[in-house]
Amino acid sequence: MEKLINDLLLSKQKELFGKEIDQDWIQFQKTRKDMKGDLTLVLFPFVKAMGVSPKEIGQKIADEIQNLAEVGSSEIIGGFLNISASQSYWLGVLSQINADTKFGFQEPKSKSTVMVEYSSPNTNKPLHLGHLRNNFLGYSVAEILKAQGHDVIKTQIINDRGIHICKSMLAWEKFSPINEKGERETPANTGLKGDKLVGKYYVEFDKNFVKEAKEIISGWENGDFDGYSDEVKSEFERLFKAKDGKDEKALKGLEGKILDLAKNQTTLLLEAKEMLVKWEAKDPQIYLFWSTMNSWVYKGFDVTYEKMGVDFDKLYYESDTFIIGKDLVIDGLKKGIFFKKDDGSVWIDLTADGLDEKLVLRSDGTAVYMTQDMGTAYDRYRDYPNLDGIIYTVGNEQDYHFQVLFLVLAKLGYSWAKNCQHLSYGMVDLPTGKMKSREGTVVDADDLIDEIVDKAKEATMERGHIEGMSEDEVTELCKTIGLGGLKYYLLKVDPKKRMMFNPEESIELNGNTGPFIQYAHARIQSLLSKARGEELAAGITLLPEEIELIKQMNEAPKVLEEAAINLSPAIVANYLFELVKNFNHFYQNVSIFNEGDVNLQKMRLVLAKNTAAIIKNFCSVLGISVPNKM
């Protein structure tokens, strides 16, 4: 309707206004909910430019647009013209929606190529609750961009190198028990998923790491500094002395610094660092050990990704891209972009850009995260020269990292750096506080999914409505409800916001939940199964409830566009909630099968069918399946 009125005003500008008008004068907005109307034309630009009253110019415009069949009525309220669409207009909108099975979706691959990175796990631990939000968010953003016509490449960078990997490897070597066959623990002889087995030894490393550090501190407290430098002794004595008279919070901070000081002196950390140097030097034994342990993890990850219902088009490995990053650093060093310090470490000075100096190579020549991320970005644009942008789905604790990364890439001369974007999202909290993987106090992704599906099964069995379904069908339904509830719960919150996760709430049948949306789809399918057909006839008079539902469906293209611009599945999720509430209001107040007028009955079935289609299509971009029976 906006275009119709806009085009009419421009075509009749001299007749209406006595002169040519500026396109910017024509400004539309949604009519306020407490007023009658579907669309509001702002009159103030005309008033200011022509020196007339809002009423005078508003009446001229109202009289002219009344000639449009699509306009039902209009009303001047202050400096606004509130316009109500006609019955024929809304029937035409419903006809357009009905003719398009993917209403709101753009032509596939009709727009630029975009890469979306998500998941990107470390191979020293299994996926957890935080990874669930990351995966669901990244996958959904990719699907939303696809729905907007973009050619999307889903990817992840697997963090398969670094000191954290060496910690798991070292702990397995030192602390893994040997069975009667002389074998250390493996997924094959324990039945444990590979990622969980490796994660177990990451936790084991930390336990022994802290234990050794505390033993060192105990020795320092007794005056034993044999084997330690004067700098270490001096720093300990300074920190220990500073504890006197401090409050509990300050005392805790000082003790943490003392523990960190001691950790850096442990033999465990020294051995892990030595292992990392050997790995980067491609030591055959270490490399074989590393590849074996990683293969266990990848198999475990694959099982979890299948449970989640997410996929990837291209995988990158830091064990490959860090080498590219080191080459970029060496090249940048020659060009004066980077500089070397006395200890041999390589840095970049970003102080002129309002940031600080950033390490890109350690003094021992090993790479840091920045190095490998530089290499990964370069590798991706080399693989996909037509790439229009990369979206990195990473928690907001890495905001500064990506600010630095994009700036460094730009300084290296890569024009595509400006098209890199960080999809920063808030962490997921538990009632007990933040997750800490080193202590093993995480909510495991596999366990959480299984728990949610079990809860969904309990709730489904209590509600009934599964008559005639086989055991396998019930099992599949519960998976659909449980996983749908979990995804919706984690996606309905704006990505930027930190959130508290509540498993029980996620599978509630009422409220802003996944099962509430899924149930509406199942209810409509049941309704349509009883119908003899649905079609639209001319001359129908729509009720207010029907018009409101058509209006809401007509917002679908704008919702997807807004979600794509803001990289926010929450916009889609909350639209679905409002659509279902609107449909439920229509269903409760307007009769379908008891309607005597066959044309009205069929039209209402068309409304129901297209509501279900939008629910299904929009749930699909959230990665959620919808059942036909529930």
The packing angle between helices 471-491 and 569-589, to 10°, is 120
Please name every residue paired with 291 in a beta bridge, in sequence order, or none if there are none.
none
Q: Residue 437's pLDDT is what?
A: 44
Please name every residue paired with 430 in a beta bridge, in sequence order, or none if there are none.
433
Closest CA to 160 of 26, 294, 4, 10: 294
CATH class of segment(s) 2-85: alpha beta
- Whole-number Å distance between alpha carbons of 20 and 13: 6
Query: How do 314-317 and 339-340 pair as beta strands?
Result: unpaired
30 close to 39: Cβ distance less than 8 angstroms: yes
162 close to 280: Cβ distance less than 8 angstroms: no
Region for residue 223 given its phi and psi (left: phi exceeds 0; alpha: psi -120 to 50; beta: otherwise): left
Strand ordering across the sheet containing 314-317: 314-317, 151-158, 113-117, 387-395, 420-425
Handedness of CA 235, 241, 245, 251 (dihedral sign): positive
- Whole-number Å distance between alpha carbons of 5 and 13: 12
Report residue 186 as tokens.
Answer: 């493996």
The packing angle between helices 194-221 and 163-175, to 10°, is 90
C-alpha distance from residue 228 to each of 215, 236, 317, 447, 579 (Å): 14, 11, 38, 45, 68
- φ, ψ for residue 95, nearest 5 deg: -65, -40
Closest CA to 132 of 488, 434, 460: 488
68 close to 5: Cβ distance less than 8 angstroms: yes
Report residue 527 as tokens.
Answer: 């309704």
* Alpha-carbon radius of gyration of the chain: 31
DSSP label at residue 24: G
For 280, half-sphere exposure in the C-beta direction (CA atoms, 13 angstrom radius) is 21
- Whole-number Å distance between alpha carbons of 503 and 449: 10
Q: What is the dotted CATH code of the domain comprising 158-228+265-429?
A: 3.40.50.620
Please name every residue paired with 75 in a beta bridge, in sequence order, or none if there are none.
82
The packing angle between helices 569-589 and 544-554, to 10°, is 160
- Whole-number Å distance between alpha carbons of 7 and 21: 12
DSSP label at residue 590: S
Residue ranges in the chain modelled with pLDDT below 70: 431-441
Report residue 114 as tokens.
Answer: 């975009």
Report residue 368 as tokens.
Answer: 């840091």
Report residue 344 as tokens.
Answer: 């041999």
Which positions ≥6 away from 63 have C-beta within 8 Å?
Answer: none
Q: What is the dotted CATH code of the domain comprising 447-621?
A: 1.10.730.10
Report the Cα–Cα distance between both ends of the chain, in Å, rounded: 38
Is there a shared CATH topology between the 2-85 domain and the 447-621 domain?
no
Please name every residue paired with 155 in a beta bridge, in sequence order, or none if there are none.
117, 314
- Whole-number Å distance between alpha carbons of 497 and 491: 11
DSSP label at residue 534: -
User: Hey, is 461 helix, strand or coil?
Assistant: helix
For the entire predicted model, the pTM comes to 0.90
Q: Residue 438's pLDDT is what?
A: 46
DSSP label at residue 105: P
Domain ranges in the chain? 2-85, 158-228+265-429, 447-621
CB atoms within 10 A of CB 183: 13
Report residue 578 as tokens.
Answer: 């409002």
Which positions ≥6 away from 210 have C-beta within 8 Å?
Answer: 259, 263
- φ, ψ for residue 553, nearest 5 deg: -65, -35
- Whole-number Å distance between alpha carbons of 505 and 502: 6
Tell me the pLDDT of the chain averaged across its residues.
Answer: 93
- Whole-number Å distance between alpha carbons of 226 and 230: 10
Q: Residue 621's pLDDT is what?
A: 98
- Whole-number Å distance between alpha carbons of 558 and 107: 15
195 close to 304: Cβ distance less than 8 angstroms: yes
232 close to 225: Cβ distance less than 8 angstroms: yes
- Whole-number Å distance between alpha carbons of 59 and 41: 12
The packing angle between helices 163-175 and 284-308, to 10°, is 100
Extended beta strands in 253-345, E state: 314-317, 339-340
- Whole-number Å distance between alpha carbons of 531 and 599: 13
Report residue 361 as tokens.
Answer: 């190579």
Report residue 220 as tokens.
Answer: 């320092």
Q: Residue 539's pLDDT is what?
A: 79
Q: Residue 432's pLDDT is what?
A: 61
- φ, ψ for residue 69, nearest 5 deg: -65, -25
Please name every residue paired with 314 in a beta bridge, in sequence order, or none if there are none.
155
Residue 326: burial class (beta carbons within 10 Å; 0-12, 13-18, 19+): buried
Which positions ≥6 away from 37 have C-beta within 8 Å?
Answer: 31, 74, 75, 82, 83, 84
Extended beta strands in 396-509, E state: 420-425, 428-429, 499-500
